[in-house]
Structure 1
Amino acid sequence: MSGSRSKARKRAVDFLYEADLRETDAVTLMSDRIGGPETPPVPDYTIILVEGVTENRERIDELLTQHIEGWTLSRMPVVDRAVLRLGLYELLWCPKGDVPPVVAVDEAVELARALSTDDSPRFVNGVLGRLAGIRDRLRKTLPKQEGTPVD
């Protein structure tokens, strides 16, 4: 995976994290920052990720709640929530073949390793690994709409 996509993911996690902390909409937060005089340009892939996670957040949170073991979304570190939401979005909503499941999981684990606690990479790997194992079944349950995976 290219370094530019990894950087775009990191930037998306930054927006998702800050929006979660502020209890505000991530797309609005990002839009307010785009084009600001002191803000570096926002990569297109960051925009896709933030918009995608925001648009599908209710379903993402339902799936995470069903598959995290020993935690609740509200109890986990905010950065882990942001990383898991992004990773699950890439697993389920990105067009088939665009982000292979192993890449989505590995990138999320690397983000957790760089941004969170020592236990977070293993936790993120376990949750997203379980979801990746049932990815095809889950993708069939998603409503067909613009931006939904193409099989």
Structure 2
Amino acid sequence: MGARSKARKRAVDFLYEADLLGTDPVTLLAERVGSPDVPPVNDYTVTLVEGVHANRPRIDDLISEHAEGWTLQRMPAVDRAVLRIGLYELLWAADVPDAVAIDEAVELAKGLSTDDSPRFVNGVLGRIAVIADQLRAVL
């Protein structure tokens, strides 16, 4: 597993934990960075957590609009975290190709969630990827 893939996995961990605790993921991350009890946190993990947090209202709106038949609250928390990271990379990470953002999110869903989650994540992000250029133009 590459360094960025590990960073994505770690970012999912932070977003998932913050979601379950009902806390701010950036605050949770700040509490953990530099802690002797926690392995070092990759810079890309920090970028992802901060990026998702900064753009979360727009990210959640887009996920809600494109997750056919699912509300954000009804989704498993891990799927929400994976989708948020995938969408952040799709729209805001200029150095990550769209196909890579989607593929990495699908791989995270395969390893962390239900058997149906990879297809669900792929479908949501795939629908958004079709209009990604239009969305980026108004961000």
TM-score (structure 1 length as normaliser)? 0.91
Residue identity in the other structure for 1:42: V
Instruction: State the 1:92 CA deviation.
Output: 0.3
In structure 2, distance between residues paired with 1:5 and 1:38: 22
In structure 2, distance between residues paired with 1:137 and 1:37: 44
Q: Deviations over 1:93-146 (max 9, x none)?
A: 112xx100000000000000000000000000000011111100011121xxxx
Does 1:69 pair with 2:68? Answer: yes
Does 1:115 pair with 2:112? Answer: yes
Partner of 1:83: 82
Partner of 1:53: 52
Match of 2:134 among 134, 137, 145: 137
In structure 1, distance between residues paired with 2:136 and 2:23: 28
- Residues 24-39 of structure 1: matches in 2 within 5 Å? 24-39=23-38
SS in 2 for 1:41: coil
SS in 2 for 1:7: helix
Instruction: State the 1:61 CA deviation.
Output: 0.4
SS in 2 for 1:53: helix
Partner of 1:40: 39
TM-score (structure 2 length as normaliser)? 0.98
C-alpha RMSD over aligned residues: 0.7
Partner of 1:3: 2
SS in 2 for 1:111: helix
In structure 2, distance between residues paired with 1:128 and 1:23: 25
**What percent identity do the matched residue pairs reach?**
72
In structure 1, distance between residues paired with 2:70 and 2:60: 13
User: Which blocks of at least 5 consecutive residues in structure 1 are unaligned?
Assistant: 143-151
Q: Which runs of 4+ in 1 moved over 6 A?
A: none
